Structure 1
Amino acid sequence: MPEGGSGATGRPGRGPVPHGHVTLSDVARFAGVSAQSVSNALNNPGRVAPETRERILAAVEQLGYRPNRSARALRNQRSRLIGVRVEPSRDDRAALLLDQFLHALAESAAATGCHLILCQADGEAEEIAAYRELLSTTSVDAFVLTGAHAGDARVAALRELRVPFATFGRSWDGDDDLAWADVDGRHGLHAATTHVAAQGHRRIAHVGWPGESETGRDRRSGWQQACTELGLDDGLHASVADDFDQGRAAAHRLLDLVDPATAFTCASDTLALGVMRALAERGLAAGRDVAVTGFDNSPGAALTTPGLTSLRQPLEQVAHDLVAAIEDLLQGSAAPRQTLLQPELVVRESSLRGPTRSTTSPSPTPTEETP
């Protein structure tokens, strides 16, 4: 039964206002309750009567009390460190996306009193070795994995080591015990395809990744579903590596057809920019002549001429949900947190019919379509 605490009918301010550093005991005296009641209100709210917890939280706010996270970590045997792998330095859009995600993850971790500890590895085996090294030399509480895929050896390794972890990317093996956060690429490509169809396009192609990519298959399925619903040909597609030149070559092939594509939805901004280069080489303008959409809303998407319509991944929310999932696991939650988030379609000139810009200035504030 929730406790009432001493002085349960009082109000904040009945005790003396402390000077200097405010302690938990100061809050207790000020609110007229026990120190244990204050601790429970902050850490186990279900054990405190609602009116008492409300009074304690008001006292915490009024006094500006901040819990000593270092002391809490010692009591709970926790380091508040989350390990995450970074890839070797690369100058491409995938690296920029990972960098944005790491910044978001660091901010979300800091909001819970945690910090990231980074390790570098070239491949999966090296990544597992790096995690083992961190566990043997550092008191790491948990890990965040990126690039989840079917048969992921990292998942098996961390389970064997009995360390909590969550993945950026869902389980492609149907693992219900895995904690993850992911972005719904199927939904995003469905929205992009529906958007260009609304511009009057009937020959909508998809330039995506090879079949072994689960994420690529997921994105392509959204395009296929939209084509089926709209009664359009779903045979206009190319599967290539995530490479500018391969996107360019794929576009040329699809434009050389007797009945060529008049719109392209792409699995990444890298491929979309390759498609736009192919259009320019043929004297065609993205948007005015052929619609183009990308995925990731990379920093360069707004700087192209014309601006590239792209799907923005909610990386801040992904990071928040992954940290929350880890907190749940560390507190002994039996049900892993799993969240699938929808990307936003950021519409720019590359998918809109009409005159295109002839300058290299950034496009104005884009509109965001809700599918």
Structure 2
Amino acid sequence: MTARQPTVEDVARRAGVSRQTVSNVLNTPEIVRGRTRERVEAAIAELGYAPSMAARRLRTKRSATIGIHLDPYAGGISGIVLDRFIHALTDRATPRGLRILVYAAADAQEEIQRIRQLREGGEIDRVVLTGTFEGDPRAEWLAEHDVPFVAFGRPWGEAGTGAQMGDPLRPWVDVDGAAGTRAATLFAREHGERVVFLGWPAGSGTGDDRERGWREVVGVDGLRWTSLDSVAEARSVAERGLAERDVDAIVCASDTLALGAHLAASHAGRPELAVVGFDNTPVAEALEISSVEQRPERVAEAVLDLLVADPTTDEGPWHRLIEPELVVRARDEG
């Protein structure tokens, strides 16, 4: 097993000084008192710390490296979207002279700690946040510590309904979910007026946004079914719904839900029932289910544009909504 490389924190702890003092010894040793400098240099020698690269990074404050959290593999269908986004981000960062560093963390607080360590070690100088949520402490910490970042996802909830939506210190890029489901519902209406929405429980910013696009077409009295993002549960919910009501089409908040609805329709003897998903995953393509394509490549390009922008000189806008694209498949055209 490879031993962990010593860090600036390790040196500071061994020498009994702050991390800033270690940074000063590495970059501007003349401002550090002789005895203190000697203790730090002794700690560096004892630990075998290699300060050359770290010193350069600390001195310039720029590593041209973007940190992004890598979610643990959890299976399922829709996780492919984030994978595509990270791939697109990496591909488009290279021509800009930027690099991508992925890191793991179990929760928001651990991610903050990880970002702090990577930044102090000179390994990253900016961050892309994913999986944003109401009251997200990561965005607050990054803004308070002047770490440039862009969120893939809006600052949902009450905390994100005001100035934060356009705050240059809290920039974000997101997919316009309402526009996607609006297009999906207009397409579904070609099969009849009774278009059901199969969505997640209320309270999800992303889910509520996707429901809004459907309601803009069908109105407040439209029929809504609710399911967790599970194929089995979505199938069960749709089977019950189809047994109780005659519907012409189902618009879903995700391809996971769409797969469940498709299986339910087939089981009910209605394999031709129009089902529209969201995420345009390989599963939707394989089963010829129409779906909303999030266009993560365009999201990645917009994220990079904001990451290199300067909030002190650039006027913004500091948020970007990417319009998705409805991909219509042959199975639903008849």
TM range (shorter): 0.7 to 0.9
Partners of 2:258 and 2:277 within 8 A in 1: yes
Residue 265 of structure 1 corresponds to which residue in structure 2? 251
For the pair 1:295 / 2:282, whether they are aligned, the reply is no
Closer/same/farther in 2, CA of residues 348 and 224 from structure 1, 3 Å limit: same
Matches of 2:133 and 2:176, distance apart in 1: 15
For the pair 1:210 / 2:201, whether they are aligned, the reply is yes
Partners of 1:292 and 1:309 within 8 A in 2: yes
Residue 226 of structure 1 corresponds to which residue in structure 2? 217
Residue 10 of structure 1 corresponds to which residue in structure 2? none
Residue 317 of structure 1 corresponds to which residue in structure 2? 298
Letter in 2 for 1:323: L
For the pair 1:144 / 2:125, whether they are aligned, the reply is no
- Offset from partner CA, 1:83-142 (integer Å, 9 cap, x none): 000111222223211111100010121121000111112222222222122123233110
- Offset from partner CA, 1:297-339 (integer Å, 9 cap, x none): 00121111xx010010111110011011010038854645311
**For 2:320, what is the secondary structure of its paired residue?**
strand
| Count of matched residue pairs | 271
Matches of 2:60 and 2:315, distance apart in 1: 19
**For 2:270, what is the secondary structure of its paired residue?**
coil
**For 2:129, what is the secondary structure of its paired residue?**
strand
**For 2:291, what is the secondary structure of its paired residue?**
strand
Matches of 1:311 and 1:82, distance apart in 2: 28
Unaligned runs of 5+ in 1: 1-72, 354-371
Matches of 1:332 and 1:76, distance apart in 2: 21
Give the counterpart of 2:177 among 172, 185, 191. 185
- Offset from partner CA, 1:37-94 (integer Å, 9 cap, x none): xxxxxxxxxxxxxxxxxxxxxxxxxxxxxxxxxxxx9996421000000111222223
Closer/same/farther in 2, CA of residues 330 and 105 from structure 1, 3 Å limit: farther
Matches of 1:162 and 1:190, distance apart in 2: 38
Correspondences of 1:53-68 after superposition (within 5 Å): none
Higher Cα Rg, which structure: 1
Partners of 1:267 and 1:294 within 8 A in 2: yes
Letter in 2 for 1:341: I
Residue 241 of structure 1 corresponds to which residue in structure 2? 228
Q: TM-score, normalised by structure 2?
A: 0.76
Closer/same/farther in 2, CA of residues 86 and 269 from structure 1, 3 Å limit: same
Closer/same/farther in 2, CA of residues 329 and 240 from structure 1, 3 Å limit: farther
**For 1:117, what is the secondary structure of its paired residue?**
strand
- Offset from partner CA, 1:166-219 (integer Å, 9 cap, x none): 0111232131212111111101101111101123x1111001111121000000
The Cα of 1:352 is off from its aligned counterpart by 2.3
Letter in 1 for 2:202: G
Closer/same/farther in 2, CA of residues 95 and 140 from structure 1, 3 Å limit: same
Partners of 1:236 and 1:254 within 8 A in 2: no
Identity of aligned residues (%): 37
- Offset from partner CA, 1:221-267 (integer Å, 9 cap, x none): 11011112xxxx7331122211111211121122122x322210000
The Cα of 1:347 is off from its aligned counterpart by 0.3
Residue 113 of structure 1 corresponds to which residue in structure 2? 97
Correspondences of 1:50-129 after superposition (within 5 Å): 77-129=61-113
Matches of 1:208 and 1:351, distance apart in 2: 20
Partners of 1:207 and 1:267 within 8 A in 2: yes
Please provide the CA RMSD for this pair: 2.1
Letter in 1 for 2:228: A
Relative contact order higher in (CA < 8 Å, ≥ 6 apart): 2
For the pair 1:340 / 2:321, whether they are aligned, the reply is yes
For the pair 1:169 / 2:153, whether they are aligned, the reply is yes
Partners of 2:194 and 2:249 within 8 A in 1: yes
**For 2:327, what is the secondary structure of its paired residue?**
strand
Q: TM-score, normalised by structure 1?
A: 0.69
The Cα of 1:283 is off from its aligned counterpart by 2.1
Give the counterpart of 1:276 among 253, 256, 262. 262
The Cα of 1:273 is off from its aligned counterpart by 0.3
Residue 197 of structure 1 corresponds to which residue in structure 2? 189
Letter in 1 for 2:112: I
Partners of 1:164 and 1:330 within 8 A in 2: no
Closer/same/farther in 2, CA of residues 350 and 209 from structure 1, 3 Å limit: farther
